[in-house]
Homo-oligomer: A and B are copies of this chain.
Amino acid sequence: MIVLTDLTAVKQALRAQRIETPSWGYANSGTRFKVFPQPGVPRTPEEKIADAATVHRFTGVAPSVALHIPWDRVEDFGALTRYAADLGVRIGAINTNVFQDEDYKLGSVTNPDPGIRRKATDHLLEAVSIMDATGSRDLKLWFADGLNYPGQDDLRDRQDRLAEALRETYGRLGDDQRMLLEYKLFEPAFYATDVPDWGTSYAHCLELGPKATVCIDTGHHAPGTNIEFIVAFLLRAGKLGAFDFNSRFYADDDLMAGAADPFQLFRIMYEIVRGGALDPSYGINFMLDQCHNIETKIPAVIRSVLNVQEATAKALLVDRDALRAAQLSGDVLGANAVLMDAYNTDVRPILAELRTEDGLDPDPVAAYHRSGYQQQIEAERAGGRQAGWGA
């Protein structure tokens, strides 16, 4: 078992860690069968940002919030940025949406209709303008584009169209802006998806240039995929730009990060630590992308942030010298044991101590419940139209 003597370096790394929460995680969400609304859900981008600021207030490691356009479109993004700053957070990645207009039924940037492609690309360009206004560094692109039936469209032509739209958008990026290209195996398209796996995203990013990197959504893989391998591979290639954290038992379940397979999350964070990519200066955007369909949203986001933090703390505890020695000597059980030793350690006391040192409550979930914030929003956000997955 690990002897926890000098935790200075571990705590320093944990203090530097940053996790971005998504505006839409505070809004209503559900499945195709039903969206169950919840009391207190935000009705405006401002209320979503207020919830994100609340998560940051209790966790201390979530100082930015990702926006989704058009769900979070406002007249004055400069004002929204200042509003966020006043609450202690900043605007993070700008997420585009080219899947909810009638026009996009058969695709957006890969649509056979050039007019629809133009419209979709214009939306991507608009998102860069919003980045200019908010000071966001990251443009996150996810395309629902794909096919439901074999033959429905030409797989290869669609790649040409995709490449063209990406190229134009890439060209619009400023010096300090970059593009994150997400991939997803399936849903909403059921036969073929135009960016189905990391390989496709990687190949396009390579062609585009250094400002384009891959975004790994942990729920977007085929069963049996080793995600930490992808993390290690992309770090080696200098092409890992971001995570969309969530967890899944089957498909893109969008459950709380670490809820389905905490050991997997630990292995992912170990590769991040091993690759020297934890510190914000490295440039990876560690985002959550989740749907709290049945559980209360703000404490669920807090819980997810804590899960990522705990997995990171365990990863930082790995005795890397001992691990390397066991690996190089071919000691399979010994090397595995070094890793498991860290995983099996209960890091909650360390994190509680860290929070106390930093003036935070050692138990953010309990503190949130005691704070009265939930009761307040349930009372105050009574009227109006709750935000959800719609413009």
> Which A residues fall within an 8 A CB radius of B?
1, 29-34, 36-37, 99-100, 102, 104-106, 112-113, 144, 148-156, 159-160, 185-188, 190-193, 196-200, 202-203, 206, 221-226, 228-229, 232-233, 235-237, 248-251, 253, 255-256, 259-263, 267, 271, 274-275, 293-296, 299-300, 303, 310, 323-324, 326-330, 332-333, 335-340, 343-346, 348-349, 365, 389
CB of A199 within 8 A of CB of B196, answer: no
Residue of B nearest to A159 (CB): B236
CB of A188 within 8 A of CB of B33, answer: yes
A186-B32 contact, Cβ under 8 Å, with A112-B328, A150-B339, A348-B344: no
Residue of B nearest to A349 (CB): B1
Can you list 10 A-B contacts (CB < 8 A)? A34-B104, A112-B328, A151-B335, A160-B236, A186-B250, A196-B229, A198-B199, A199-B202, A310-B344, A344-B346
A150-B336 contact, Cβ under 8 Å, with A106-B330, A224-B222, A233-B200: yes
A191-B295 contact, Cβ under 8 Å, with A154-B324, A336-B149: no
The residue from B148, B233, B274 contacting A332, defined by CB atoms under 8 A apart: B148
Q: How many monomers of this chain does the complex have?
A: 4
CB of A31 within 8 A of CB of B202, answer: no
The residue from B36, B328, B340 contacting A105, defined by CB atoms under 8 A apart: B36
CB neighbours (8 Å) of A328 from chain B are 112
Residue of B nearest to A111 (CB): B330
Give the complex CA separation of A237 and B345 in angstroms: 37
A99-B251 contact, Cβ under 8 Å, with A197-B199, A203-B237, A267-B150: no
